[in-house]
Structure 1
Amino acid sequence: MTPDEAHTTAETRRATPGEEHDHDREETPHATPDEERLARAALTRIVEPGDEHAGRWLRTYGAAGFLRRLRDPATDDHETPAHTDTPLPPHPSHSAPRGSTRPPETGPFPGTGEKRVAGWRRRAAAVEPHRDLDAAERHGGRLVIPGDTEWPRQLDDLGDTRPIGLWIRGPADLRTWALSSVAVVGARACTPYGAHMATTLASGLAERGWVVVSGAAFGIDGAAHRGALAAQGATVAVLACGVDTPYPRGHAGLIGRIAEQGLVLGELPPGSHPTPSRFILRNRVIAALTRGTVVVEAEYRSGSLVTARNAHRLGRHTMGIPGPVTSGLSAGVHELLRGEATLVTDAAEVIELVGAMGQLAPARRGPVLPRDLLDPHTARVLEALPAGRPTRAPQIADRAGTTPDDTLARLYELHSLGFVERQGDDWRLTNSRTEGSNARRGGT
């Protein structure tokens, strides 16, 4: 088997959710691949991320056909639409409601509001996709679109809200990395406990060969990225702005380091700035891209909970790190844990959920003490010895519920193990500080 064949086999074996249905590149009948790429580059500046209306028309007409209809309203409305991978249901606006005399809507975008289309057309008239592609290339970036080898097909699970394309900085192959990736997200204003847990969790995942995905924000996100980088591991930052516009500014150095060792990606073209809605919409990409999402700290109202619930709706694993019940920053996580999320405490427990069959976390148990290894009958005799005073064998036998002869045999066994000592006809617990005798005296 050649290295390429081995890689393909491994990728198939570890297919992520969504890999089983492969969307072909949607192209208009006369659009070349370069035209389609250029159109998608333009549309990332025209359309806001996650716009279902745009996604529907992109699926109907293909990127080049959609862009042509935006730039030229006179485009023949009856032109054959692009091949779609899933049939479109009849849109309610295609025919007038029963009992209504209103004629059916006409034009290339029936059912989409006039203000929305007007905004698209206004931006389409000014967009210069060649400049965006050149700007990305100057920053070591590229545009990856559906149909490319590097496109992570699990993003297709987002349906009409999937990204038009992803602008990416970094040397790695996104699709390959996404096959073994986990999102670690949480509060911006996190506690020292939360930062420690995010760092430790990310380091543990990276050391086991998993890619840590987060949003490069302050708090938990930053701690997760740093933990993966410190372990010389792989990490991906999903931004709500252009990949050449580090945000937050205080993380410019961190984002630059991620671009060197990992990947920085986003849906928006170079030079784009974040908005509150873009942060929320960015979270659906984090959820869809990864095998599961871990929330470390989050209040009841938190973008991290949006990510986790998106993951749950997409059939991904949703996990939470518990915190103090008195902390408001753990209240949202605890609410998740009462519902759809699974409690995890370290990387091994996360991998047990998202990894391959047989990748089980080690069994959790307390330390094994010497007295734990005693035969049950011998342990009962040891428990019958009172603390602090010598006792004769018959009395010990009465307390242990055994015969004097059996008790005497057990006492000599305990003597050889260092638990008891003999003083004439009496027996007492040894004064040596063995774990067994300490546990017996302290009751723990």
Structure 2
Amino acid sequence: MTDDERLARVALTRVLEPGDELGGRWLREFGAVEVVRRLVEGREPLPGASAQRWEGMRGRAARMRPERDLAEARDAGARFICPGEPQWPAQLDDLGDARPTGLWVRGRPSLRIWALRSVAVVGARACTEYGAHMAARLGAGLAERGWVVVSGGAYGVDGAVHRGALGAGGATVAVLACGVDRPYPRGHTELISRIAEQGLVVGELPPGDHPTPSRFILRNRVIAALTRGTVVVEAAYRSGALVTARAAARLGRFTMGVPGPVTSGLSAGVHELLRGDAVLVSDAAEVAELVGDIGDLAPDRRGPVLPRDLLDPGAGRVLAALPARGLMAAEEVARGAGTTTDEAVGRLYELRALGFVERHGDGWKLTRQAMISLRGDRSGC
């Protein structure tokens, strides 16, 4: 990457929209310097550009001031990185011609190093308390496990996951749909400033540029490509978070979803993902198990171990043959357990020693403690 090529890419961030695949093809075939030259001179339209589009791009090119943009970025504590440079995350190259022209990065850490162990957590802006709680838990849990948490800095799930990671003293990255010197939304100015101090704020657009609906959608491909996997926490059917998850799936990344109530429209999009190839996750340990290294396993999920679970099968069958109330003769217990009377009597004495049964004359009954234990066991069925 020569200085001229780098400066040309800085200039083109004011001309090419994020995700412009035709522009990406021009960069690949001709290089940034040649693209800028043709835009400035205007005599040789680049292949594939209509007359109307070419004229519009030339109008934008008249506003190119790369040196000024770099100076404004420096004043905001930001820098510009290009494909192929040491700090460039190579996984963004999976986007092909939709790869960013370059990235404006605000913050001290290396984006390339951080992206190697990163997970995206995205979701609804107008999330419920449950969605905000789960996002914050995931952000904190992933940060505590050494993962970099990536999101979009928006209200709702994005803000909650960033705050969770920051609160745990961890690493987080906000990928914006505007200039990195222009926090958006305005209500998250303080949050994005904290992210820039403790983590990274990243964007494709030059200093001062504003967001648009299409830029939000196109920003999501960067979140998907940058990370090992994407977790969706609450999303309606038309949510931008689903765009991120589907982009992740197309790129061969892991897609995960946090389930919610089936009656909630804000979980309907997540459930639709889970009906496909997405994996259900409920906490950071399950996310880390999926996207992490071999041996990074979540704990086994199981209910409490009851005293009855420790009995061998023969004793368990004899215990199950006893009624919840009243006495039963050993012969009846044997028939219920499908064994001999002698075997049943031996098991009953074993169970008495363990506190499960009592003997009254010729009959046997469950102890009070055994009845409580059995009721608890059956309540989980």
Output the TM-score relative to the length of structure 2.
Answer: 0.96
Residue 34 of structure 1 corresponds to: 3
| Shift, 1:437, TM fit | 4.3
Q: 1:369 aligns with which of 306, 310, 335?
A: 306
Q: Report the CA distance shift for 1:385/1:398 in structure 2 as closer, same or farther (over 3 A).
A: same
SS at match of 1:232: coil
Whether contact under 8 Å (2:103, 2:203) holds in the other structure is yes
User: Equivalent pairs: percent with the same residue?
Assistant: 69
Whether contact under 8 Å (1:430, 1:437) holds in the other structure is no
CA distance in 2, matches of 1:401, 1:51: 74
| Shift, 1:151, TM fit | 0.2
SS at match of 1:386: coil
Give a deviation string over 1:373-406, Cα, whole Å, max 9, x none.
Answer: 1111101111111122122222222222222211
Whether contact under 8 Å (1:141, 1:167) holds in the other structure is yes
CA distance in 1, matches of 2:377, 2:260: 33
The correspondence of residues 5-24 of structure 1 with structure 2, limited to 5 A, is none
Whether contact under 8 Å (1:383, 1:440) holds in the other structure is no
Output the TM-score relative to the length of structure 1.
Answer: 0.83
Residue 215 of structure 1 corresponds to: 152
Q: 2:239 aligns with which of 287, 290, 302?
A: 302
CA distance in 2, matches of 1:418, 1:167: 70
* 1:398 and 2:335 are equivalent in the alignment: yes
Residue 233 of structure 1 corresponds to: 170
Residue 34 of structure 2 corresponds to: 65
CA distance in 1, matches of 2:328, 2:378: 16
Residue 130 of structure 2 corresponds to: 193
Whether contact under 8 Å (1:419, 1:437) holds in the other structure is no
CA distance in 2, matches of 1:437, 1:422: 19
Residue 312 of structure 1 corresponds to: 249
SS at match of 1:359: coil
Q: 1:264 aligns with which of 192, 201, 205?
A: 201
* 1:120 and 2:57 are equivalent in the alignment: yes
Q: Report the CA distance shift for 1:245/1:441 in structure 2 as closer, same or farther (over 3 A).
A: closer
Larger mean CA deviation between 176-185 and 200-209 belongs to: 200-209
Whether contact under 8 Å (2:125, 2:155) holds in the other structure is yes
The correspondence of residues 93-242 of structure 1 with structure 2, limited to 5 A, is 107-242=44-179
Give a deviation string over 1:62-111, Cα, whole Å, max 9, x none.
Answer: 1112111111134xxxxxxxxxxxxxxxxxxxxxxxxxxxxxxxx34122
Larger mean CA deviation between 53-62 and 169-178 belongs to: 53-62
* 1:50 and 2:19 are equivalent in the alignment: yes
Q: Report the CA distance shift for 1:314/1:441 in structure 2 as closer, same or farther (over 3 A).
A: closer
CA distance in 1, matches of 2:56, 2:151: 31
* 1:246 and 2:183 are equivalent in the alignment: yes
SS at match of 1:372: helix
CA distance in 2, matches of 1:179, 1:121: 38
CA distance in 2, matches of 1:286, 1:318: 12
Larger mean CA deviation between 53-62 and 184-193 belongs to: 53-62
- For this pair of structures, how many residues does the alignment match? 381
Amino acid at match of 1:36: E
